[in-house]
Amino acid sequence: MTWTPDKPIVSLRNVRKSFGDFEVLKGISFDVMKGEVICIIGPSGSGKSTLIRCINALNDIQEGSITLEGQEVHDPKLDKLALRRKVGMVFQQYNLFPHKTALQNVMMAPVLVLRQDKAEVEKRARSLMAKVRLSGKEDSYPGELSGGQQQRVAIARSLAMNPDVMLFDEVTAALDPETVKEVLVTIKALAEEGMTCILVTHEMGFAREVADHIYFTDRGVVVEHGPPAEFFANPKDPRTREFLDQVL
Amino acid sequence: MQSVEDFFLWLYEAHGINLTIFSDSWDRARFLAGILTTIELSVVCIVLSVVIGIVGVWLQGTRARAPRMAVAAYIAFFRGTPPLVQMYFFYFAVDRALSSLLGVSGGLVSNFGWAVISLSFFAGAFNVEIFRAGMSSVPGATIEAAEALAYTRFQIYRHVTLPLALRASLPALNSNLVNLVKTTTVAYAIAVPETLYVANQIWSDEYNVVEMMNVVWVTYLILVGILVWMMHAWEKNMRIPGYGAAR
């Protein structure tokens, strides 16, 4: 089955995932079209992070199906590395390589994994650093940067691989309120350029602004979903209303 | 040089301090050769034991059971038995067994060679454990970030885990390598002409045990001092701005 852009780039069907006896995901389904931005919101412990970690096979699943560009992610025969080359991921704790400078962090994967020409990668890495507004910080080590700066390096590091889809796992949750904005601005610019983005977030204002579609998950299921205007103005499920009352 | 020799001859005659390594060119030559042998033995064993440590910890991390079991058995054996016994075992038992197996007469490996092999395996067993502790200090999340960027297991090991683990391991590695330099004296037992061995030859010929004993103390303090200084310089050089204890 070959994938064409009129079909969902990421598609989840009845995904179930357990850690031991504890079932975290109890049958989750959704589709993401190319260029779409979707936000997954919900209370802590509702399985949001687990869900996006299944998309690049950092977590396995017990049941159901996840496809990326038509390919089954959890097919044991699938080349996981080939899959991960197409999916960028940004983490809550940035997870930069502390022994490499910001520029080296951005350059490493294209040079090592994609075996691209070093000089060319460096040129691209410098322009990515400029894109996340960190020109001049190329030679700083992660430990010398603020949380917000580190997170933007992490975004540039993912973008250097030219991914088809970007996953953001609560990327502003560890940041100071003042630095949250600089990261969100970066993500917003990315979304506006047409990058397919799947975000787990607690930033409701941001979700409302950038998302094409919101999914509210609780206790391992999608309780309610819809375009943001509708979702926030007129939540139907009592659990959604309760959650939104608490966070807004 | 003549004046140095004269001074030490005078020192012996006037005060009874008989430092023949300074007053006698033959003794000086064999003592210097002994120090050089100690340095050679130390350097070769340091390099090999670190390589063994790196390979061992890599094998420990593989999924297959056999290599993990082999590393565990290796560590249990070399950490759990005395280095002198290990050296005798290689020099007397393994050499003979291999020679008769291959039909070689007169021994397969020199005594220096067996000292290198047994000391490297001895210190290597500790290095595997030291590097393992260093590896476990690398946050899982950092490794996960490399996984998400499609690094292979080897690329993660080579470019992420190892450089970070090595930094965390340096203080413990430092201690083990100091121990290794001191343990090279065990090679005395299979007649490798290292520092202690030649010192013994000199004091047997010259009856200057007290003087040579002091020379041996000072020699090892200097050798170990140089190693510690180099290791600290390396540690400082590997320090990352804004990372870890260097803050």
Q: Considering the entire predicted model, what is its pTM?
A: 0.81
Q: Where are the alpha helices (DSSP H) in A27-159?
A: 48-55, 80-86, 102-112, 118-131, 147-159
Any domain includes B215: yes
Contact between chains at B149 and A109 (C-beta distance less than 8 A): yes
Is the model's pLDDT at A209 over the cut of 70? yes
Any domain includes B106: yes
List of chain B residues whose C-beta atoms are within 8 Å of the C-beta of residue A93: 141
The pLDDT score that the predictor gives to residue B246 is 44
Give per-residue pLDDT as tens, B103-148.
887 778 899 999 999 999 999 999 999 999 999 999 999 999 999 9
**Span B24-53, average pLDDT:** 96
The pLDDT score that the predictor gives to residue A1 is 59
Instruction: Report the distance separating Cα B102 and Cα A76, nearest Å.
Output: 47
Contact between chains at B144 and A91 (C-beta distance less than 8 A): yes
The pLDDT score that the predictor gives to residue B16 is 86
B186 lies in which domain range?
4-235
Any domain includes B244: no
Residue B191: band (very low, low, confident or very high) from pLDDT cuts 50, 70, 90: very high
- The beta-carbon neighbor of B155 closest among A112, A141, A154 is A112
List of chain A residues whose C-beta atoms are within 8 Å of the C-beta of residue B241: 140-141, 143-144
Size of interface A-B (CB pairs under 8 A): 78
* Domains held by chain B: number: 1
* Domains held by chain A: number: 1
CA proximity to A97, closest of A141, A163, A140: A141
Q: What value, to the nearest 5°, has the Cα angle with vertex B236 and ends B235 and B237?
A: 90
Mean pLDDT of chain A: 93
State the Cα torsion A5-A162-A190-A247 to the nearest 10°.
90
Give per-residue pLDDT as tens, A44-60.
888 899 999 999 999 99
What one-character DSSP code corresponds to residue B136? H
Any domain includes A198: yes
Instruction: Report the distance separating Cα A80 and Cα B147, nearest Å.
Output: 10
Chain B: give the shortest CA distance to residue A196, in Å. 17
List of chain B residues whose C-beta atoms are within 8 Å of the C-beta of residue A83: 150
Give per-residue pLDDT as tens, A142-192.
999 999 999 999 999 999 999 999 999 999 988 988 889 989 999 999 999
Contact between chains at B167 and A95 (C-beta distance less than 8 A): no
Instruction: Report the distance separating Cα A66 and Cα A6, nearest Å.
Output: 17
Any domain includes A5: no
Inter-residue contact A74 to A65 (CB < 8 Å): yes
List of chain A residues whose C-beta atoms are within 8 Å of the C-beta of residue B164: 98-99
The pLDDT score that the predictor gives to residue B245 is 54
Mean pLDDT of chain B: 92
Nearest CA in chain B to A93: B141
Inter-residue contact B22 to B2 (CB < 8 Å): no
A231 lies in which domain range?
10-246
Q: How many CA atoms lie within 13 A of B32 on its CB side?
A: 8
Give per-residue pLDDT as tens, B158-172.
999 989 999 999 999
Give per-residue pLDDT as tens, B59-80.
998 889 999 999 999 999 999 9
Instruction: Report the distance separating Cα A41 and Cα A214, nearest Å.
Output: 7
Is the model's pLDDT at B178 over the cut of 70? yes
Give per-residue pLDDT as tens, B18-35.
888 988 889 999 999 999
Q: Model ipTM?
A: 0.91
CATH of the domain at B26: 1.10.3720.10
CATH of the domain at A182: 3.40.50.300
